[in-house]
Amino acid sequence: MNDKLSVLRLFIRVARTSSFTKAGRELGISQPSVSRQISELEADVGTVLFVRSTRAVKLTEAGVDYLMRVEAILEALDEADHVARGSSELRGHLRVGLSTSFGIREVIPRIGRFMESHTALHVDLLMSDDRQDLIAEGADVAIRFGALPDSSARSRLIGRSPRLLVAAPSYLARAGSPVDPADLARHTFVLGPSSVASLGWVLRKDGLEAAFRAEGRVTTTVNEGATAAAVAGLGILPVGLWGCRSEIADGRLVQILRDWQLEPVEIHAVFPPGRAIRPAARALVDYLVGEVEAISAEGG
């Protein structure tokens, strides 16, 4: 039983890394041993699970179906073991999808205490500014900003991030500082993935509303690039607080139209559909909720 479970866990790591070598390195197994065990698994199952090439290994159609079923079984077994132990100990690999900016700026600096509490847990941070496919990436949970589309995936609200309009002092010295929303029409904007998706914006103040369009002269495919462009004085950036907190603190960026508010952005944890929520994923989300609440209590 244990041998079969070990082989199935090895199969999952090969599928998720697309590499015998990487999977073996993660689990402390030589590449030839990985190849042999996977071949024996295919013989036992009676079908080819991977297409091999010199560059990578890819799942066959049968392999994709087998992976989804095996993962569901092992996750249910892990949860049963976790409940039976009656402890808070977490094990295995936890795969977390999240944006690059949020991961670098907020999660990595704060995840240390969580890792120290669960020394047998390995965390894989799948960082990208593109919205990840939870199933294709094999993510156990993803952290997403903004309204969630209709989906069969389950979610939990982690918190809300204020949105700001910010610019570099050098830009404001050159172009002038807006004093009301109407002034924005004569200004240049820089946009990243989190802002380009919503070109129409609404500012609110004391029951008043002012709409404006942010058409970027400079756009980037990563949010960190948009923040860097704003710091370089290339224009005004609509951005969540967590995308510019350190730059505001050290004066590289300045908030403009401070009396006017943009709609805050919701932050959700999203779990893949059709699978039991792993205890490790649930525990990490609980931890992040606590961290967000602590940040909010400190005033952001």
What are all long-range contacts of 171-178, with beta carbons under 8 Å and residues at least 24 apart? 171/230, 171/233, 171/234, 171/235, 171/236, 172/254, 172/256, 174/233, 177/256, 178/236, 178/256, 178/257
Kindly state whether residues 96 and 131 are assigned to the same domain. Answer: yes
In CATH, what number is assigned to the domain containing residue 183?
3.40.190.290
Same domain, 258 and 167: yes
Same domain, 147 and 278: yes
Domain of residue 25 covers: 1-87
Please, what's the b/e burial string for 13-44 (b: 16 or more CB within 10 A of its CB; e: otherwise)? bbbbbebbebbbebeebeeeebbebbeebbee
Same domain? For 100 and 83 the reply is no
270 and 154 assigned to the same domain: yes
Confidence band for 296, pLDDT divided at 50, 70 and 90: low
- 39 and 177 share a domain? no
Same domain, 54 and 143: no
CATH number, residue 15 = 1.10.10.10
- Are residues 153 and 133 part of one domain? yes
pLDDT range class, residue 153, cuts 50, 70, 90: low
pLDDT bracket for residue 45 (50, 70, 90): very high
Model confidence band, residue 33 (pLDDT cutoffs 50, 70, 90): very high
Q: Is the pLDDT of residue 81 over 80?
A: no
Domain of residue 95, CATH code: 3.40.190.10
Task: Using the predicted structure, report yes or no on whether residue 282 has a pLDDT greater than 60.
Answer: yes
Considering 65, 87, 109, which residue would you say is the last residue of a domain? 87
75/7 same-domain check: yes
Say yes or no to pLDDT of 98 above 60: yes
The pLDDT score that the predictor gives to residue 32 is 92
Strands (E), the chain: 50-52, 57-59, 92-98, 121-127, 141-145, 154-161, 163-167, 189-191, 200-205, 208-213, 216-219, 237-240, 254-255, 265-271
More confident site: 295 or 268? 268
Task: Say if pTM beats, i.e. exceeds, 0.85.
Answer: no
The tally of domains found in the chain comes to: 3
Q: Which of 35, 65, 87 is the last residue of a domain?
A: 87
Residues 63 and 197 in one domain: no
Mean pLDDT is highest, among 85-89, 250-254, 262-266, for 250-254
Q: What is the pLDDT of residue 166?
A: 97
Please check the confidence at residue 1 and state whether its pLDDT lies above 50: no
Average pLDDT value over all residues in the chain: 85
Dihedral sign for Cα atoms in the order 155, 160, 166, 168? negative
pLDDT of residue 184: 92
